[in-house]
Amino acid sequence: MKKFILPLIAMLFNLGCNSADESNGNSADTVLPAEDLFNVAYGNENGQVMDVYLPEGRNSAITKVFILVHGGGWSSGSKSDFNYAVPILKSAFPGYAIVNINYRLATPESPAFPKQVQDIERVIQFLKASDYNLS
């Protein structure tokens, strides 16, 4: 069942370059290695962390990104709920980066909206400003 839910929940973002002619940030002879980064902070508040899986040979002209946002009604759950999906996506889309995020959860004192939407926007801004060489 999880394999069928994954495409409905994972969001694919084209994060930047409008033209394949733009510099990709790599020298012609450099092939960036695959890299897995865990608990990368994209903000200063508790819960604003993500795991980033960067493919080998990525560059800012072609490397697209899956951003995984776990379920839980904005009030429960964790990025670890999507750990099963990472190897599936890596296998099916080897040239794509994968970002599995946590976000600030709602509480009775701190409602969901708009902080979860702001956290997703902050992830996108973080990725655009990063040196991860993503498109």
DSSP per-residue codes, 20-64: TTS--SS-TT--PPPEEEEEEESSSSTT-EEEEEEPTT--TTT--
Pick the more confident residue, 25 or 21: 25
Helices (runs of H) and strands (runs of E) counted in the chain: 3, 5
pLDDT tens track for 24-76: 455 556 899 999 999 999 999 989 999 999 999 999 999 999 999 999 999 99
Average pLDDT, the chain: 85
Spatial contact of 46 and 104, defined as CB atoms under 8 Å apart: yes
Each domain of the chain, given as residue ranges in start order, spans 2-16+34-129
**Reported pTM:** 0.81
Q: Residue 1 pLDDT more than 50? A: no
* C-alpha–C-alpha distance, residues 88 and 84, integer Å: 7
How do beta strands 11-13 and 65-69 pair?
antiparallel
Taking domain 2-16+34-129, whether its CATH number is 3.40.50.1820 is answered by: yes
